[in-house]
Amino acid sequence: MNTPAIDFDSPWKEALEEYREDFFALFFPQAHAEIDWTRPYAFLHKELQQVVRDADLGRQIVDKLVRVWLLTGADVWVLAHIEVQSQQETLFWREIQEYEEERTMPYVTSVERIGLARGREEGREEGLREALRRIVRARFPMASEALDRRIAEADRAALDRMLDRVSIVQTADDL
């Protein structure tokens, strides 16, 4: 006795038509940004049937062909093709991992982002320190080592104050 196939793709097709703008924003953000959503659109069901034949009936596939207008004023046909996974595949996560590795797009965690931001800020501070030292050496060749230590230990706000003042003070001690 054959078990009837469950239709997983019809709800996706309906969702794509009903929520087309949100659908494109979620699944195709770059295309979404280029489409003029204030202009009319048309789903091209008959045209799609003429160019696409379902050769692999075992897979759940959602295909929609839609005519949209771009922000440039051009009208284009967009084929939205989605394969709906109806059951867990044991190799699915391995395939995703291999795909990500092929794209060489490492995932950056929130913690790593914070670390990168702190590193950039520290780099900016060190750049300010070095610029300030060079200006001080150029203006005051006999500046003390104590001033160099003050620059080395200064926080960002103090570095900014010194940098603002270095061109107007008369002596290095005035910094």
Q: What pTM was estimated for this model as a whole?
A: 0.39
Contact 143, 136 (CB under 8 A): yes
Q: Which pLDDT score, from 0 to 100, does residue 154 have?
A: 93
Q: Which pLDDT score, from 0 to 100, does residue 64 have?
A: 74
Q: How far apart, in whole angstroms, are the C-alpha atoms of residue 141 and residue 154?
A: 20
Per-residue pLDDT of the chain (175 residues), as tens digits, is 565 556 666 777 777 788 888 888 888 888 889 999 999 888 887 766 665 554 444 444 557 778 889 999 988 887 776 666 655 666 666 766 676 666 655 556 667 777 778 888 888 899 899 999 999 999 999 988 889 999 999 999 999 999 899 989 999 888 8
Contact 12, 82 (CB under 8 A): yes
Q: Which pLDDT score, from 0 to 100, does residue 46 have?
A: 72
Q: How far apart, in whole angstroms, are the C-alpha atoms of residue 153 and residue 104?
A: 40
